[in-house]
Amino acid sequence: MKVFFKKLNHFDDSFSLPSFESDQAAGADLRACFENKKGISVEPWERVLIPTGLSMSFEAGYEVQVRPRSGLSFKTPLIIPNSPGTIDSDYRGEIKVIIANMSNCAYFITHGDRIAQMVFSKVFRPNFIEIMELDVTNRGENGFGSSGINNGAMK
């Protein structure tokens, strides 16, 4: 599959297009690309949209899932609250990433920081059919913890 990128006016030409950082990486990294070329401070508990300076086009029947990079999630108080975010194949606007600061201190995102990764996934569009009753299973309507807790893992 080919993915076509358009560099927007504020794209920093010193950046490469999104890339896979290892031979078998599933996700391609996205960089923060600010018009001011500096960055922004994300205040405690604030959510912000981080621009990438890119828009793209890819084959119908696929989606892009925008996910956190594990290092960002582990080493900083930043999260992607709608993870994974979905980019539909018919969207042509700028790729932006919602970032939230889950701490009591401001955190600065620098121009060029790798802030997320994107993973391509096949989309399945089922036929929706209304019925009067669903088939019966052992689990039934039991949800949220009803299948038990592995006590050895919970401490």
Q: Return the CATH fold of 3-122.
A: Deoxyuridine 5'-Triphosphate Nucleotidohydrolase; Chain A (2.70.40)
- For position 9, what pLDDT does the model report? 96
pTM of this prediction? 0.85
- Cα 18 to Cα 54, 112, 115: the distances in Å are 9, 12, 11
- CA–CA separation, 112 vs 114, rounded Å? 6
At 154, is the pLDDT very low, low, confident or very high (cuts 50, 70, 90)? low
Check: CB of residue 30 under 8 Å from CB of residue 53.
Answer: no
- CA–CA separation, 13 vs 42, rounded Å? 25
What is the residue extent of each domain of the chain?
3-122
Check: CB of residue 20 under 8 Å from CB of residue 3.
Answer: no
pLDDT surpasses 90 at 150: no
